[in-house]
Amino acid sequence: MISNFLQTVLGWRALTDITLIALGMFFVYHTLRRLGTWKMFLGLVMAMLAYVGANILGLEGITWIFSNLSHVALIGIIIIFQPEIRKMLESSVSPARREPEGPEHEGLPMMIADALFSLAKIPCGAIFVFPGRDPLERFLTGGVPLNADPSPELILSLFDTHSPGHDGALLVRDGRLAGYGFRLPISKSSHLPREMGTRHHAGMGLSEITDALVFVVSEERGLVSFFKNGKLSRVPGRKEAVEAITDHWKAAASFLPQPEKGAKKWTTAVELVTAFMLTILLWSSVVIGRMEIVEKSVETPIVYVSLPANIALSGAKPTGTRIHMAGPKSQLDSLTADNLRVRIDLSKAQPGKQTFFVSRESLNLPKKVDLLDADPSEINLSLEETVDMEVPVTPQLVGQPRQGWTVVSVAVKPQKVRVVMKKGEGEQQAPAVTTTPIYLDSLGSGATIRCKIIAPPDAQPSDKPWPDVEVQIRLIPVEAKTE
Ligand SMILES: Nc1ncnc2c1ncn2[C@@H]1O[C@H](COP(=O)(O)OP(=O)(O)OP(=O)(O)O)[C@@H](O)[C@H]1O
């Protein structure tokens, strides 16, 4: 079993399976962490671990509860995590990374930092949005497209309270001032300090549902803050503002999620390793479960194939047998009465009494499945040599033509059919092959009638089934015949 398990684990399919699940887990964890619902995810992981543990230890009760509740739980998870699932699906089609900002934008973070603190000094309220990888179009409403080269004067005048477009957010994308006056989705979070009103809740709202970086300058208190992944951070000085922008650009241009500020450098590596370890644990518990050797009995039909043309089966023959197998549960589960057949190969059969055996080969069982027993396991058959002959078809004419009429010709098509008979019987005399009855008194001057063949039970058609025959009958008045 252990060598079986290692063989399974070391295959490329298993490695691909484990890698994809682990990366998926890592991606789900990061999205949920960004959205602040990772604790619920952790709860789910704990439940999964409990299930795996119960499975390994063979705790039937817990395993039963989990497997029976899993469908209901799945619906519950879909409802609870609906916004997160939506976010994950959106992220999965977002580009894996953003083009890194070119050297021509090097001065931009400092220019923005200066603008932030100049606005704070006035004080003048402002919101700056720096997109990450996620598309923002769905969340930004209103707004005026600008696409202008950034300059301190332009930024300050955009937020000047005398300017009609000062309300809302300024979008800074690809080193340019892409647009201004955008309304952002308002957060429902109750975690922000009391003094923070709709401007800050708008900054928080966008950062909760996307990976954008949002700076907010408070009009009342002249303070600068930024929101990232639904978290508020104070910006004490220009240096911190520049750092926040460059870190954000770096994260958006990287394939791997960047560790949060303050987190240790190796956090991502630890998270990845944990995801892999959890996956291997979960995966191996499933594989071990599926590799468990079990026994199973199935009622199976018997089919007789490749019977030589000169041999016929006579007497009773079994049509089914009950087979008893042992093998890995995963393979036995898929073997049912619908897809199992005992095929008895009669290609080498000789006339006389012969015994055939139900074997692994006659069932074509998968490699790891063994046949333990079959009932019956021996099939006794009587086989007889046959002869093949051509026999004329005689139409079965019933009664007499109408009064005054007489039959002048009867033609049958085909005139002969090939018949297979057991050798002894065939040699004595050819069987009488006729048609379904044709009632002469119902015919007019003539007719062509399609009939079925009628033959004795021991005469079988050589080319199954019997062909239909056409009987052409011509009648004329009796006087015409005597003339
Ligand atoms: N959804 C929104 N998107 C963008 N900007 C908004 C949004 N809602 C409000 N604002 C801006 O916030 C201003 C109102 O700020 P409010 O005083 O309520 O918030 P605040 O967080 O207390 O900020 P401040 O400290 O600057 O007063 C509005 O005039 C508008 O410019």
Q: What is the CATH number of the domain that holds 114?
A: 3.40.1700.10
Ligand 1 centroid to Cα of residue 210, in Å, is 19
Same domain, 448 and 375: no
Lowest mean pLDDT among 275-279, 425-429, 448-452: 425-429
> Is 469 among the domain residues?
yes
**Among positive and negative, which fits the CA dihedral 318, 324, 327, 330?**
positive
User: Which of 367, 385, 403 is where one domain is finished?
Assistant: 385
The alpha carbon of 195 and the centre of ligand 1 are apart by a number of angstroms equal to 12
HSE at residue 118, side-chain half, CA atoms within 13 A, is 14
Distance in angstroms (rounded) separating the CA atoms of residues 166 and 127:
10
- Contact in structure between 206 and 129 (CB atoms under 8 Å): yes
Please indicate, yes or no, if residue 259 is contained in any of the structural domains: no
In a shared domain, residues 107 and 246: yes
Rounded mean pLDDT of 227-251? 90
Greater confidence (101 vs 396) lies with 396
Distance 216 CA to ligand 1 centre (A): 9
Pick the residue whose CA is nearest to atom 13 on ligand 1.
Answer: 199
Q: What is the spatial distance between Cα 370 and Cα 365, in angstroms, rounded to a whole number?
A: 7
Number of independent structural domains in the chain: 4
Q: Do 418 and 317 share a structural domain? A: no
Q: How confident is the model at residue 131 (pLDDT cuts 50, 70, 90)?
A: very high
Q: Check residue 10 and give its pLDDT.
A: 64
Assigned token pair, 299: 């009622």
> For the residues 343-355, what does the mean pLDDT come to?
89
Distance between CA atoms of 173 and 134, rounded to whole angstroms?
Answer: 12
Amino acid letter for position 432 = A
- The Cα–Cα gap between 331 and 222 comes to 70
Segment 461-482 mean pLDDT = 83
**For residue 72, what pLDDT band results from cuts at 50, 70 and 90?**
confident
pTM of the model: 0.51
**Ligand 1 atom with least separation from CA of 186:** 1
Same domain, 245 and 340: no
* 217 Cα nearest atom in ligand 1: 26
**Same domain flag for 47 and 135:** no
Q: Residue 412's pLDDT band (boundaries 50, 70, 90)? A: very high
Residue 258 lies in a domain: no
| Distance separating alpha carbons of residues 200 and 299, to the nearest angstrom | 71
Higher local confidence (pLDDT), 199 or 291: 199
Cα of 217 to ligand 1 centre, how many Å? 10
Instruction: Find the 199 Cα to ligand 1 centroid distance in Å.
Output: 3
Q: Whose CA is nearest to atom 21 of ligand 1?
A: 197
Going by CA atoms, what residue is nearest to atom 5 of ligand 1?
A: 168
Instruction: Please report which confidence band the pLDDT of residue 17 belongs to, taking 50, 70 and 90 as the band edges.
Output: confident
Residues 79 and 139 grouped into a single domain: no
Pocket test for ligand 1, best of 121, 188, 199 (most atoms within 8 A of CB): 199
User: Is residue 263 situated within a structural domain?
Assistant: no
**Do 44 and 82 have their domain in common?**
yes
Neighbours of 148 (CB within 10 A): 14
The domain boundary residue, chosen from 336, 360, 385: 385
Confidence of residue 120 (pLDDT cuts 50, 70, 90): very high
Lowest mean pLDDT among 102-106, 202-206, 369-373, 401-405: 102-106
Question: Does the pLDDT at position 293 exceed 60?
Answer: yes
Residue 370 lies in a domain: yes
Q: Is residue 34's pLDDT more than 70? A: no
Tell me which residue has its CA closest to atom 17 in ligand 1.
197
Q: How far is the CA of 197 from the centre of ligand 1 (A)?
A: 6
Q: Which atom of ligand 1 is nearest to the CA of 166?
A: 31
Instruction: Give the structural domain span for 354.
Output: 292-385
* pLDDT score of 227: 94
Element (H, E) at 69: helix 60-80
Model confidence over 172-205: pLDDT tens digits? 998 889 999 999 999 887 788 888 889 999 999 9
Q: Is residue 262 included in any domain, yes or no?
A: no
Distance CA 155, CA 413 (A): 101
Q: Of ligand 1's atoms, which has the minimum distance to the CA of residue 205?
A: 1
Ligand 1 atom, smallest distance to 195 CA = 22
**How far is it, in rounded angstroms, from Cα 207 to Cα 287?**
41
DSSP 159-185: T-TTSTT-SSEEEEETTEEEEEEEE-P
Distance 196 CA to ligand 1 centre (A): 9
pLDDT at residue 119, rounded to an integer: 93
* 3-state SS, residue 401: coil
pLDDT at 225 over 90: yes
Question: Does residue 329 lie within any of the structural domains?
Answer: yes
Compute the distance between CA of residue 426 and CA of residue 428 in angstroms, rounded to an integer: 6
Task: Say how many Å lie between the CA of residue 198 and the centre of ligand 1.
Answer: 4
Residues 201 and 225 in one domain: yes
Report which ligand 1 atom has the smallest distance to the Cα of 123. Answer: 26
Torsions phi, psi of 158, nearest 5? Answer: -65, -35
Nearest atom within ligand 1 for CA of residue 200: 21
Give the position, in ligand 1's atom list, of the atom nearest the Cα of 169. 4
- Please give the structure tokens belonging to residue 392: 């004329």
Closest CA to 229 of 204, 256, 255, 202: 204
Q: Are residues 240 and 296 in the same domain?
A: no
Co-location of 159 and 129 in the same domain? yes
Q: Which protein residues are within 6 Å of ligand 1, measured from CB?
A: 125, 127, 167-169, 183-184, 186, 196-200, 202, 218-221
Per-residue model confidence (pLDDT) at position 460: 80
The domain boundary residue, chosen from 197, 228, 252: 252
Q: Which atom of ligand 1 is nearest to the CA of 201?
A: 21
Ligand 1 centre distance from Cα of residue 225 (Å): 13
Whose Cα sits closest to atom 11 in ligand 1?
199
Intra-chain end-to-end CA distance of the chain, in Å:
98
3 state SS of 133: coil
Name the one residue in this structure whose structure tokens are 């052409």.
Answer: 472
Structure tokens at 376: 């019956």
ipTM of the complex: 0.94
Are 64 and 115 in a shared domain? no
Q: How many angstroms separate the alpha carbon of residue 169 from the centre of ligand 1?
A: 10
Specify which residues 327 forms β-bridges with: 294
Rounded Cα distance, 245 and 178, in Å:
16
Q: Do 122 and 245 belong to one domain?
A: yes
Element (H, E) at 210: none
Give the confidence band of 98 by pLDDT, cuts at 50, 70, 90. Answer: low
Give the pLDDT band (50/70/90) at residue 255: low
Q: Is the pLDDT of residue 23 over 90?
A: no
What residue owns the CA closest to ligand 1's atom 29? 167
Two tokens, residue 49:
């671990």
Q: In this structure, is residue 260 part of a structural domain?
A: no
Q: What tokens were used for 138?
A: 């769905």
Sorting pLDDT into bands at 50, 70 and 90, what band is 283? confident
